[in-house]
Amino acid sequence: MTFKNEKGIHTDFKERMTYGDYLDLDSILNAQHRLSGHHDEMLFIVIHQVSELWLKLTIHEIQAASEAIQSGNFDSAFKKLARVSKIQNQIIQAWDVLATMTPAEYLEFRDYLGQASGFQSYQYRMVEFALGYKTPHVLKIYEKDPELHAMLKEAYEAPGLYDVAIEALAKSGFDINQEVLERDYTKTYEANESVEAAWIEVYQNVEKYWDLYELAEKLVDIEDWMQQWRFRHMKTVERIIGHKTGTGGSSGVGYLKKVLDHYFFPELWNVRTKL
């Protein structure tokens, strides 16, 4: 029996396929190239690669969840969004491992990183876009790579998970302002009163709007975990490099603290005060 995997490679006999073939371990396990040869650089590389793999799955799940919400399959969406939260929890735990690296150890190989920075993580930007946070300067970073740029641009211009949730509110009969439903998706989502009023109604009539209520709480979970990830990143960076400027050219911890102020799903947090 022959079959084709996503890379288009034919593997002749399923019977002959090994664990390593199936998981493409030759690629994955030969991708840790320490530039300094320093012991802890292995930790640094592996943590980033693991995080990027989890981000890959996160994007996959959020996209499927968005489609499920659009077609009214709430249960299917909930399962995927719950999985996203569990993944976020995993990526957050990775900070504990990375924090075992001391400032002196990191500084032994930091110079080898040049201008490379997590700032350039396109998968992280895909997640931010999916959560409705659109910062135009981010796209410019990838202008030299047309294929990547096109993929990011598509995600940048597409409605996010929250836009799809708001559409679901409208489909359930809530009076959502037209300007929100027809909003320019290339702009970061901003709070709107009609959306807030709808969520308040959902939270006050949980039995009637169970699906929307559960959807709202899943979104709050995701935002909560996202903020915890950002916070742990900021604090880990502070304990490792203090207030040094970042390799990506930002102020470092100061910049990372500032992005913490952003709310992805503002009305869902406002609701807490208003109820």
Ligand X SMILES: N[C@@H](CC(=O)c1ccccc1NC=O)C(=O)O
Residue 47, contacted partner among ligand HEM, ligand X, none, CB below 5-8 A by kind:
ligand HEM
Query: If binding is defined by CB under 6 A, does position 241 make contact with ligand X?
Result: yes
CB of 109 to ligand X, least distance (A): 10
Which window, 19-27, 115-123, 133-141, 168-176, contacts ligand X (CB under 6 A)? 115-123
Query: If binding is defined by CB under 6 A, does position 91 make contact with ligand X?
Result: no
Distance between CA atoms of 275 and 271, rounded to whole angstroms? 6
The residues in 94-113 that bind ligand X, with binding defined as CB under 6 A, are 110, 113
Nearer to ligand HEM, 124 or 199 (CB): 124
Mapped onto helix, strand or coil, the DSSP state of residue 187 is coil
Long-range contacts from 186-193, C-beta under 8 angstroms, 24+ separation: 186/134, 186/136, 186/156, 186/157, 187/134, 188/132, 188/133, 188/134, 188/135, 188/262, 189/132, 189/133, 189/160, 189/162, 189/163, 189/264, 189/265, 189/266, 190/266, 191/263, 191/266, 191/267, 191/270, 192/267
Which window, 35-43, 128-136, 158-166, 239-247, contacts ligand X (CB under 6 A)? 239-247
Distance between CA atoms of 164 and 73, rounded to whole angstroms? 12
Are residues 253 and 238 in contact, defined by beta-carbon separation less than 8 angstroms?
A: yes
Residue 266, contacted partner among ligand HEM, ligand X, none, CB below 5-8 A by kind:
none
Query: If binding is defined by CB under 6 A, does position 38 make contact with ligand X?
Result: no
Which window, 55-63, 145-153, 168-176, 241-249, contacts ligand X (CB under 6 A)? 241-249
Q: Which residues are annotated as a binding site?
A: 44-48, 106, 110, 233, 247
Candidate list 63, 117, 172, 236; residue touching ligand X; CB under 6 A: 117
Residue 116, contacted partner among ligand X, ligand HEM, none, CB below 5-8 A by kind:
ligand X
Q: Which residues are annotated as a binding site for substrate?
A: 44-48, 106, 110, 247
> In terms of DSSP H, where are the helices of the chain?
19-23, 25-29, 41-70, 74-98, 103-110, 122-130, 136-140, 146-157, 161-171, 178-181, 193-204, 210-241, 253-259, 266-274
Q: Which residues bind ligand HEM (CB under 6 A)?
A: 47-48, 51, 98, 106, 117-119, 121, 124, 233, 237, 240-241, 246-250, 252, 255-256, 259
CB of 162 to ligand HEM, least distance (A): 18
The residues in 44-73 that bind ligand X, with binding defined as CB under 6 A, are 48
The set of residues, in sequence order, having a beta carbon less than 8 Å from that of 62 and lying 6+ positions away, is 80, 81, 84, 127, 130, 161
Find, among 132, 135, 232, 240, the residue nearest to 180 by Cα.
132
CB of 59 to ligand X, least distance (A): 18
Q: Rule CB under 6 A: which residues touch ligand X? A: 48, 110, 113, 116-118, 241, 246-248
